Amino acid sequence: QKEVEQNSGPLSVPEGAIASLNCTYSDRGSQSFFWYRQYSGKSPELIMFIYSNGDKEDGRFTAQLNKASQYVSLLIRDSQPSDSATYLCAVNDFGNEKLTFGTGTRLTIIP
């Protein structure tokens, strides 16, 4: 059974600080990693995906992947109140169309 673990939070971060969200996964065969943001009462929306070890940056967001340690993280720089949401980590392995989701981390940015 593939597992994706996230700290459920809530994680509280002051406005303007860096928010760090972590995710670990059990299947060493996992190849693709996704971060989704979900506002309360809304559906998940894709923020970033990463396939290779290292960092991938997109605006204020940076995804970090370490396959040897089986973790993926999402950094949000200059956190804004609008970043307050639940962040879902999802993984899949090569040739598998299905994603395995973590239960999400609730992030609150404090003005």
Task: Give the interface with another protein as residue ranges (CB under 8 A).
Answer: 32, 34, 36, 42-46, 49, 88, 95, 97-99, 101-104
For the chain, the straight-line distance linking the first and the last C-alpha, in angstroms and rounded, comes to 40
Q: Which is nearer to another protein, 51 or 81 (CB)?
A: 51
For another protein, the closer CB: 84 or 86:
86
Nearest approach in angstroms of CB 93 to another protein is 11
* Amino acid at residue number 11: L
CB of 46 to another protein, least distance (A): 5
Please return the burial class of 33, using the count of CB atoms within 10 Å of its CB with bins 0-12, 13-18 and 19+. Answer: buried
- Least Å distance, CB 35 to another protein, is 10
Q: Of 95 and 111, which has the nearer Cβ to another protein?
A: 95
Q: 104: exposed, middle or buried (C-beta count within 10 Å: 0-12, 13-18, 19+)?
A: buried
Q: Please say which residue, 79 or 104, places its beta carbon nearer to another protein.
A: 104
Report CA torsion sign: 40, 14, 111, 83. negative
